[in-house]
Amino acid sequence: MISRHQRILFWVLVACIIAMASLLFWERERARDRISALADATPIDAPYTNTESITLDLANDADGSVTAATRAIALPDEATARARALLEHLVAEYALPDSPHPLQSGAAVDDVFLLPLPIVGHAIDTSAKPNPGGTTSTVPVASTDPAALQPQTPGGELAVINLRSSFVNAHPSGVEVESLTLLSLIGTLHANLPQIEQIRFLVDGQPRETLAGHADLLRTYPSRDTTVQATVPDAP
Amino acid sequence: MLAVATLPCLAQTAPPAVAPVPSLAASPAIPFNRGVILLDPAHGGVDSGSRISDSILEKDVTLNLAFKLRSLLSARGFSVVMTRDSDAATQPGSPNPLTLDDRAGIANHAHAVACLLLHATAAGNGVHLYSSELEATPGEPPANPWLTAQAAWVTQSQRLQKQLGLAFTRSSIPLVMSRASVRPVDSLTCPALVLELAPNGSDNSTLNDSAYQQRVAEAIAAALVFWKNQAQPPANLTPDQIPTAPSAPSTGAKP
């Protein structure tokens, strides 16, 4: 004969088991909802987080060489943002410890502007009659320089790289080190943005004679493959 | 004697036994004078160039190297024209600082058989030799003569670069040869190179080492003796194509 106290204890234990099972089921449902919320695929950032293989032309001060190296990085699709991101990645490589071409870390490129070639400006149209409102008529004019600012192929572009003065002022001084920086920038753009045919440099929006006292920043550079190996003269 | 020495066709077969005096007033029809070397110690005055260390400035290294070169070249029969022979880089007879165009003007008036633009840096080691990045355009007038005057001479500059490179290799001096756009080399109407002296090894203080500078200078001087008779004027260069700077001085500092 089971005593009354034992029956009461049995049914209390059964009730506890049912309550515990209900609690566990409820907690499991909550956890599943939380994980589902974390896995939400709704886009938040701009859709350029997919990495791609790009080529960086890396300089080496020891032997004066520029060699191509591939990296997998995420880049935006828009051309000017892409060019700027490429150059920032390149300069960031040089800021790493033991870099063969050490440069100061930090942002180097303020903007990159891509202009379709040929460059066309505007001049006052001397043959037009004065406008009633006092405004002046203008006509588009092409550059008078036959060698520069002309596209080699249709769709060719001029890239204007606006460097930050903080980067330029901290750049090491010397013919080799400055030339290698320019070659590296030019070669990286050439390898990844083939529509760029010519490149000019500004510093904080203004033209500057040299990068750090030597390499010419006023001229227009042709976009080209700048990978070079150290040259050793042939024996006579 | 001067006339014979400054005629390229005759000077190739009969080089002068005595070094001619550089004639800055020579006819522009004469491409160069085989007995004249132009040295341009870069920077000077307030422009100290690269700060190699707390006590070493680029302008001092280039001037010291130029003095050593001048002595060696003079001993080998050359007349040496220098764009500056003291710390200050000023226009002749004027306190105005020497611009890069002024330096190019001095070089072009000297009609030198070789123009060496001397620089120094703490980066790399050995000697860095650069010729102009301009593409050779023999006989074709460039669109902007002053900024592209070197185009007619690029082929000769590259031959001179090879000659100097061989001399450095023989002297076991580490060498980097390339092309660079460094003003005012593109405005020079002579076989022109940018020569950058880097440390001997990893110690920057070797840039001030007299023995190291002397070794480099001797290699250059030996190469220029060979170059003296190898240089050729551009094939189709006419007197009308030799540009001058708009306000270039008519003479430079001479030893």
* Count: domains in chain B: 1
Domain-located, residue B5: no
Domain-located, residue A161: yes
A31 with A82, same domain?
A: no
Q: What is the pTM of this model?
A: 0.75
* Residue A65 CB contacts under 8 Å (≥ 6 apart), including other chains: A59, A227, A228, A229, A230
| Cβ-Cβ contacts under 8 Å, B43 against chain A | 213
Q: Give the gyration radius of chain B's Cα atoms.
A: 17
CA-to-CA separations, A55 to A107, A183, B18, in angstroms, rounded: 20, 14, 57
* Count: domains in chain A: 2
Which one-letter DSSP state was computed for residue B87?
S
Measure B35 CA to nearest chain A CA, in Å. 24
A160 with A181, same domain?
A: yes
Domain-located, residue B185: yes
SS (H, E, C) A31-43: HHHHHHHHCCCCC
For residue A220, what is the nearest residue in chain B, using CA coordinates?
B181
CATH number of the domain encompassing residue B235:
3.40.630.40
Domain-located, residue A144: no
Strands A196-203 and A138-142: unpaired
A113 with A1, same domain?
A: no
Exposure string of B209-233, with b = 16+ CB inside 10 Å and e = fewer, is: eeebbebbbebbbbbbeebbeebeb
pLDDT at A88: 92
* Residue B209 CB contacts under 8 Å (≥ 6 apart), including other chains: B200
The answer to whether A175 contacts B180, with C-beta atoms less than 8 Å apart, is yes
Domain-located, residue A150: no
pLDDT at A50: 75
* Residue B193 CB contacts under 8 Å (≥ 6 apart), including other chains: B114, B115, B116, B117, B129, B130, B131, B157, B160, B161, B164, B185
* Of A79, A197, A203, A208, residue with least CA distance to A149: A197
pLDDT at A38: 66
Domain-located, residue B22: no
Supply A73's token pair: 């990085």
Ranges of chain B with pLDDT below 50: 1-28, 241, 247-255
pLDDT at B149: 87
pLDDT at A152: 72
The answer to whether A233 contacts B166, with C-beta atoms less than 8 Å apart, is yes
Measure A88 CA to nearest chain B CA, in Å. 23
Evaluate whether ipTM surpasses 0.95: no
Q: Which phi and psi angles does B50 have, rounded to 5°?
A: -70, 135
- Give the integer Cα–Cα distance in Å for B204 and A211: 22
Domain-located, residue A142: no
Percent of chain A with pLDDT over 70: 84
Domain-located, residue B85: yes
For residue A181, what is the nearest residue in chain B, using CA coordinates?
B180
A205 with A166, same domain?
A: yes
A177 to chain B, any CB pair closer than 8 A? The answer is yes
pLDDT at B71: 96
| Cβ-Cβ contacts under 8 Å, A231 against chain B | 165, 176-178
pLDDT at A102: 92
The whole domain housing A189 covers 51-117+155-222
What is chain B's length? 255
| DSSP per-residue string spanning B176-230 | EEEEE-BTTGGG-SSSEEEEEE--SSS-GGGGG-HHHHHHHHHHHHHHHHHHHHH
The answer to whether B121 contacts A176, with C-beta atoms less than 8 Å apart, is yes
Domain-located, residue A213: yes
Q: Which of B123, B169, B181 sits opposite A176 (nearest CB)?
A: B123
Q: Which of A175, A210, A212 sits opposite B130 (nearest CB)?
A: A175
The CB density around residue A52, as the number of other CB atoms within 10 Å, is 11
Domain-located, residue A16: yes
Domain-located, residue B146: yes
Measure A62 CA to nearest chain B CA, in Å. 5
- Give the integer Cα–Cα distance in Å for B152 and A176: 24
Measure B169 CA to nearest chain A CA, in Å. 8
A31 with A55, same domain?
A: no
* Of A80, A58, A79, A53, residue with least CA distance to A183: A58
Domain-located, residue A231: no
Ranges of chain A with pLDDT below 70: 38-49, 120-122, 140-150, 229-236
Q: Where would I find the beta strands (DSSP E) of chain A? A: 51-60, 65-74, 109-116, 120-124, 138-142, 157-163, 196-203, 221-222
Domain-located, residue A141: no
**End-to-end alpha carbon distance in chain A:** 119
The whole domain housing B142 covers 32-241
